[in-house]
Copies of this chain bind each other. A is one copy, B any other.
Amino acid sequence: MAVKNAMTADFLRSAYGGESMAHMRYLHWSEIAQKEGFPNIARLFKAIAYAEQVHAGNHFNVLDGDIGDHSVTAGGVFGGKKTAENLLGGIMGEEHEVEQMYPAYLEVAKMQGEKEAVRSFTFALEAEKIHAELYKKAKEAAEQGKDFEFKKVYICPVCGHTVLDELPDQCPVCGAKKDIYKEF
């Protein structure tokens, strides 16, 4: 295992569980937004679902090690039907990660000297801040019956950094080159 400490390993598994469920519900809510006539919000959900997949993959890779079963406890948001409501669910989940979950996991990983976990948790935390803000703007639009206006949404495949329209020369979070960003 690339991780020496049981608590950091537990938190990586919980974060993986939470990211996996977030990925899944954003794909689901993307389809609903599409049907409701919000193609940009649908695209935003799909792009952010991919960012959560990057986070889940990073946590999974840090855990490394032998094949084994684990019971995982993780936070999930459930329910919703209308896009404005689903965006509220998105904001709730992202804010929980930004304000509570990732700061707590990060603190313990730092205390335990688990550098790879610190990196993986930091990548996720930085992206979730942006996700919360984007969902807030999208919700304002959806509540007025409008789609969220943007041209493209880009995701860094290394860290999940999420940006609209204008790509930076390199990822501000992980330093990846702009040409590897995935476009939605």
Contacts and interface: CB of A to CB of B under 8 A. Distances in A.
Given A20-B23, A67-B78, A69-B93, 9 more contacts: A13-B76, A17-B17, A17-B20, A20-B21, A67-B79, A71-B73, A71-B74, A72-B74, A72-B76
A77 to B, nearest CB: 6
Contacts of A166: none
A57 B28 contact: yes
Interface string A80-99: 11000110110011001000
Count copies of this chain in the complex. 2
Interface residues of A, number: 41
Interface of A: 13, 16-17, 19-21, 23-25, 27-28, 53, 56-57, 60, 63-81, 85-86, 88-89, 92-93, 96
A87 to B, nearest CB: 10
A68 B75 CA distance: 10
A171 B79 CA distance: 28
B78 A71 contact: no
Nearest to A77: B69
Contacts of A67: 77-80, 85-86, 88-89, 92
A40 B27 CA distance: 25
A56 B17 contact: no
A73 B75 contact: no
A92 B70 CA distance: 11
Nearest to A21: B20
Nearest to A12: B78
A66 B92 CA distance: 13
10 contacts: A16-B21, A16-B76, A17-B20, A17-B74, A20-B24, A63-B79, A67-B77, A67-B86, A70-B78, A72-B74
B17 A60 contact: no
